[in-house]
Amino acid sequence: MSFLKKILPPEDKKFYQLFEEGAREVLEAANLYKEVLGTEITEEHQQRALDIKHRSKKHAHDALMELNNTFVTPIDREDILGISYMLNKIVRRVVRSTLNLHVYRIENYPPFLSAQGDSLVGAATELQTTISLLRKHGTLKSVTESSQRIKQVEHHGDEILHEAMVDIFSGKYDALSVIKLRDVVRNIESALDKSFTVSDIVVNVVLKNS
């Protein structure tokens, strides 16, 4: 790579495409988690989960490599790192919960798992909109509105988590089941929290460049 190429700003699509691919993996992971709830988790489900995780990790790595090979970037370097890192972390949390449903041999899925799964899919779907607005140079108003919709989903997720914890510690589950269920719901809640974190970074990017 020539020195001139390194100092010239890269095409916007390079980083934005990686963000959009990362957001698609978040939604794919969320849909897979929702899909396996209430059914027997097959080897195909497990392999799909691992494939999503590996693709997400590769996109985060590719973003880092682009940064290392570029002096001038379309948005701040810390924002590129933050978005890439968080998208990958969301996928890892969701995939972990998906695989743990099998590892933990959870057979009867309490209703709060499905409710939490719906919130996760909702947040992941809206996150695609938020991320797409970066490439489109969306207005601060449109990006903020999208971020607020994710925040609303996250707030609802907090309510579901509270209800889930009340149920988990109600005494109707044995000690081992309590540990298993708590781990799963906390990972999904973490994924929801990080979805809003990503949208918040995007809002700040647009604010700084508006």
In the DSSP assignment, the letter for residue 10 is: P
Instruction: Indicate yes or no: pTM above 0.75.
Output: yes
- Half-sphere exposure at residue 134, Cβ-oriented, CA atoms within 13 angstroms: 30
Residue pair 12/132 in contact (Cβ under 8 Å)? The answer is no
Reported as a pLDDT band with limits 50, 70 and 90, residue 164 is very high
User: Which of helix, strand or coil describes residue 169?
Assistant: coil
pLDDT for the residue 19: 94
Reported as a pLDDT band with limits 50, 70 and 90, residue 40 is confident
Sign of the Cα pseudo-torsion (194, 196, 198, 204, in order): negative
Residue pair 146/124 in contact (Cβ under 8 Å)? The answer is no
pLDDT for the residue 38: 74
Structural domains of the chain in order of their starting residue, each with its CATH number: 11-208 (1.20.58.220)
Give tens-digit pLDDT for 109-120: 999 999 999 999
State the residue for tokens 């996250």.
154
In the DSSP assignment, the letter for residue 61 is: H
